[in-house]
Amino acid sequence: MKTIAIDIDDTLNNFSETLAKTHFAHDARYTVSAEIFDKYLAMVRNKEGEEDELLSTEFSYFRQKIHGQCFDLAVARPDGVEFMQWLKQDGWRIVICTSRDMRRTEQSTRMWLQENGIPFDYLFVALDKLSFCKAWEVDYLVDDHFSSIQFADRYGVKVFYPIMAGQVEPEAGFARGFGNFEEVRQWITE
Amino acid sequence: MDNRVDLIKEFYQGLPTNRVKLETFHYGFDFLEKLLTDGIVLRYGERYITGRFYKYKLANVPKERIDGLLQAHVRKECNVCLYFDGNANGLFCFNLDINHKVNNTVMIPEMAVAVTLLRDILAGAGCEPLVIASGRGYHCWCRLDAPVSNERLHKFMLGAMARTFYGLQQNGMDHRKIKANFYPDPRTQDTVSLRLFGSEHMNTKLFSQVLSREGLLDEAASWKAFEEHLRRHAIIAEAFDAGYASMTSAA
């Protein structure tokens, strides 16, 4: 069966733009002072980590809360939605493959996909999406993560990634950049 | 049926069995197709980089499939994790994890002190726990003779954990090195599950050993301790009420 794995954030939606442009107001649910709120928010927006040996910290909980809101607020790419609906109609097995923590976000992720008319067959969490695709014999992956783009050939998985503004498309190989999902549709039906 | 399955069913009775988190090394669409029969649906799957194992959150699990999954669990072919009831539960658990980004399966002094303190606090409140090694720390299970509302259980656990952390500080230790989660927790009861006793940790391959006051027990002795706890240590309602009053009063 034809199978394709597709990431959500910054692939099917505009997560980074949402994170950068959304106004987050300080309130009690963050359980930090206004000063710390501003500091942490800047860190989250700059994708900075903490220099802390601890796994769960005040900052890590804060980041979860901000990311959780962005997951809900992010806007689906119209061409992405159209592409997903075409996949379904064309008989593809669709695996949503994300690095989100599904323990916290399963309900909201499912709701977002449903509200945006995005069909799928399975929902999977994989930090290393190429390894997942190789193990599950998924030939195609649509993902923006640099490691998926960089190591696509090593795993023999055809990776399609959305080209960000100012990004230079590398030479065609196992990884190909696209401006519109229509290009992906053409490539996987070649 | 394996006697161990009966023990597990009795110990964890009251936890819903229509939702299960399964930990296994099996994967692939053929495997999934076989798993997702009898109406079972996959909420999501998860691939772990370390150990290359998978977790599958399953829903609509019919009763007739649970015995088979538990049998596989005690045979160490997979691990079964269960979720808690959304309103009230007849058991509760403290999940103490080492809160380190790296090497969080290597025991730290804070964990040893924390689990001893918590055990003493609970025993003092009439709630002797069964302490089980979890891989990154310990699960401290307490059984009740009747379900108690999640809100009451959560407040009780908050009080016990606050006393534990205070004790750690009194010993000059940093409580932030321990991550404590409560089961059930009204905020996360639909989203987090706990591995049942009788499992083998997917990464470390260590059995879920019981930690007695004398130390970690081997597998056979752990099963014996598990059965003994089941027979002797259900907390009666009056004892829990008294414990609740002490845990929720100002220290």
What domains lie within chain A, and their CATH numbers? 3-13+76-188 (3.40.50.1000), 15-73 (no CATH)
Q: Answer whether A135 sits within 8 Å of B27, measured CB to CB.
A: yes
**pLDDT tens across A30-39, in order?**
999 999 999 9
**pLDDT tens across B132-164, in order?**
999 889 999 999 999 999 999 999 999 999 999
Residue B239, strand partner residues = none
Q: Answer whether B57 sits within 8 Å of A106, measured CB to CB.
A: yes
- pLDDT band for position A66 (cuts 50, 70, 90): very high
- pLDDT band for position B187 (cuts 50, 70, 90): confident
Q: Which of A177, A4, A165, A13 is nearest to A81 (CA)?
A: A13
**pLDDT tens across A128-178, in order?**
999 999 999 999 999 999 999 999 999 999 999 999 765 656 655 789 999
Least confidently predicted of A106-120, B118-132, B187-201: B187-201
**pLDDT tens across B57-72, in order?**
999 999 999 999 999 9
* Out of A1, A122, A131, closest to residue B45 by CB: A122
Residue A189, min C-alpha distance to chain B (Å): 22
Query: Which token pair is B167?
Result: 């004790």
The mean pLDDT value for B77-102 works out to 94
- pLDDT given for residue B222 in this prediction: 98
pLDDT surpasses 90 at B189 = no
- pLDDT given for residue B159 in this prediction: 95
- pLDDT given for residue B107 in this prediction: 84
- pLDDT given for residue A172 in this prediction: 59
Cβ atoms within 10 Å of B250's Cβ, excluding its own: 4
Q: What is the DSSP string of chain B?
A: --HHHHHHHHHTTTS-SSSEEEEES--SHHHHHHHS-TT-EEEEEEE-SSTT-EEEEEES--HHHHHHHHHHHHTTSSEEEEPPPSSEEEEEEEEEEE-BSS-TTS--HHHHHHHHHHHHHHHHTT-PPEEEE-SSEEEEEEEEEEEEEHHHHHHHHHHHHHHHHHHHHHTT--GGGEEEEEES-TTTTTT--EEPTT-B-TTT--B--BB-SS-B--HHHHHHHHHHHHHH-PBPHHHHHHHHHHHTS--
% of chain B surpassing 90 pLDDT = 80
pLDDT surpasses 70 at A102 = yes
Cβ(B58)–Cβ(A122) below 8 Å: no
Q: Answer whether B100 sits within 8 Å of A55, measured CB to CB.
A: yes
- pLDDT band for position B51 (cuts 50, 70, 90): low
The mean pLDDT value for B201-221 works out to 94
Edge-to-edge strand list for the sheet holding A122-126: A175-178, A158-162, A140-142, A3-6, A93-98, A122-126, B41-47, B54-59, B20-24, B79-82, B194-195
The mean pLDDT value for B109-116 works out to 96
Q: How far apart (Å, rounded) are the C-alpha atoms in residues B124 and A131?
A: 50
The mean pLDDT value for B208-224 works out to 97
Q: Answer whether A131 sits within 8 Å of B47, measured CB to CB.
A: yes
Which domains are present in chain B? 3-82 (3.30.70), 88-247 (3.30.70.3300)
- pLDDT band for position B89 (cuts 50, 70, 90): very high
Q: Which chain B residue shows the shortest CA-CA distance from A54?
A: B100
Residue B104, min C-alpha distance to chain A (Å): 9
Cβ(B98)–Cβ(B137) below 8 Å: yes
- pLDDT given for residue B104 in this prediction: 74
* Three-state secondary-structure class, residue A185: helix
Q: Answer whether A103 sits within 8 Å of B99, measured CB to CB.
A: no
Chain A residues touching B44 at Cβ < 8 A: 102, 106, 122-125
Kindly report the average pLDDT of chain A as a whole number. Answer: 94
Residues near A73 by beta carbon (within 8 Å), at least 6 away in sequence = A18, A22
Cβ(A165)–Cβ(A138) below 8 Å: no
* Out of A54, A104, A132, closest to residue B47 by CB: A132
% of chain A surpassing 70 pLDDT = 96
Cis, bond preceding B109 (omega within 30 deg of 0): no
- Cα distances from B217 to residues A165, B77, B133, B210, B211, in angstroms, run 59, 22, 10, 6, 6
Residue B50 in contact with partner chain A when CB distance is under 8 A = no
The mean pLDDT value for B214-222 works out to 97
pLDDT surpasses 80 at B15 = yes
Selected residue of A109, A125, A130, A138 to mutate for chain B interface (largest B Cβ count, 10 A): A125
Letter string b/e over residues B23-34, b meaning 16 or more CB atoms within 10 A of that residue's CB: bbeebebeebee
Q: What pTM was computed for the model?
A: 0.93
Residue B45 in contact with partner chain A when CB distance is under 8 A = yes
Chain B residues touching A137 at Cβ < 8 A: 28-29
69-128 in B: which are within 8 Å (CB) of A?
Answer: 99-102, 104
Residue A14, min C-alpha distance to chain B (Å): 23
Query: Which token pair is A166?
Result: 């100012």
- pLDDT given for residue A14 in this prediction: 97
The mean pLDDT value for A118-125 works out to 98
Selected residue of B23, B33, B44 to mutate for chain A interface (largest A Cβ count, 10 A): B44
